[in-house]
Structure 1
Amino acid sequence: MNAKYFSPVLWLKLAAAALFAGYLYILIKIILFKFSEVNVPLLGRLLLEAADQPHNIAYRWQFANLTPFVSIRQNVAGLPHMHDTINLFGNIALFVPLGLFLGLFVGCRLPAVLFYALCVSFALESAQLVLAMGSFDVDDMILNTLGGAIGYALFAGSGLARGRQLRAGTPTGRKLV
């Protein structure tokens, strides 16, 4: 198909999908690979190892933080040390784009954004546990979900959210039936 047949809206959707894919790649690179190169064969080997030796997952589970706000309190107490600052604010900042993407391109409302941010965070925390590429921490999930909410708030507070509501049919965004 010739490029001249693509509408501007299609180009915008393709660009948004490419940006979202890039964001997910960066998210995985930071959370699972700690800024090092993404190594798919390594993931495969670690997954096979986890399947062959499930007792290792049970062992790592013993060191997981399942009590809310424990590591958050530790990070706040440790401010302004670099590790605590990065752990606290980095977990929030990593998920701000997710809230923006979900609000802007998918049209999700806040409850859905919170749900999706929590699910993505849970999947990444679980991957860290299973693949032995980090530790499971419920506080990371709390901070990640907060980041998604902040991203959605940035979207909702922008003129973009208002424009979407007006295009939906009425000044309040509710369609008249």
Structure 2
Amino acid sequence: MLKKFYKIIIIPYTLFLLYLMFLGMGRTQYEDNLLTVAPVISTINFIKGCISWKDIIMIVAGNVVMFIPFGFLGWIFPRCKELKSLLFSFISAITIVEALQYFTRMGIFEVDDIILNTFGVFLGWMICRFLENKFPRFVF
């Protein structure tokens, strides 16, 4: 039951995330191509310069939580049930998306985003395994 719902919702969800990453939240095109490649430093600088805890939670936690559903991709692509394959596929895809943000100047290529998004996928994978083990009849 849960798998069927997931298969229906993941494509619109992915399109919604892509919209947010390129056009949402008042994004405009930057004048220059921007990138931050020093892991963790841009997130720390963002937190230091942020006035509101709400903004910190929305951006930092959002970069994790919004990607949890991709940890369930093994339900659609059997080879993604294995964590190594899932992470390799996801990191490849999210790096392409970050590069597109860079080249279109509709965002910043940030290594921290890749790290946080990948952590979200890992959490999703852990949740998926838990659900499959604890509630097998509900999942299938």
Instruction: Give the TM-score of the pair, scaled to structure 2.
Output: 0.76
- Greater strand percent: which structure? 2
Residue 70 of structure 1 aligns with which residue?
41
Kindly report the root-mean-square deviation, in angstroms, between the aligned alpha carbons of the 2 structures.
Answer: 2.8
Gaps of 5+ in 1: 1-7, 37-45, 47-55, 165-177
User: In the alignment, does 2:112 pair up with 1:139?
Assistant: yes
- Contact kept? 1:104, 1:155, Cα under 8 Å: no
Which of 59, 66, 85 is the equivalent residue of 2:57?
Answer: 85
Identity %: 23
**Structure 2: 5+ residue stretches without partners:** none
Show the 5 A alignment for 1:3-22. Answer: 12=4, 16-22=6-12
Which residue is equivalent to 2:22?
Answer: 32
The answer on whether the counterparts of 1:79 and 1:85 sit within 8 Å (CA) in structure 2 is no
Q: 1:67 to 1:98 in 2, by over 3 A?
A: same
In 2, the alpha carbon distance for the partners of 1:30 and 1:161 equals 33
More relative contact order, 1 or 2 (CA 8 Å, 6+ apart): 2
Structure of greater Rg: 1
Q: Which runs of 4+ in 1 moved over 3 A?
A: 75-80, 161-164
Deviation at 1:119, TM superposition (A): 1.8
Deviation, 1:83, is: 2.6
Please state whether the residue corresponding to 1:64 is helix, strand or coil: strand
Q: When the two structures are aligned, how many residues end up with a matched partner?
A: 129
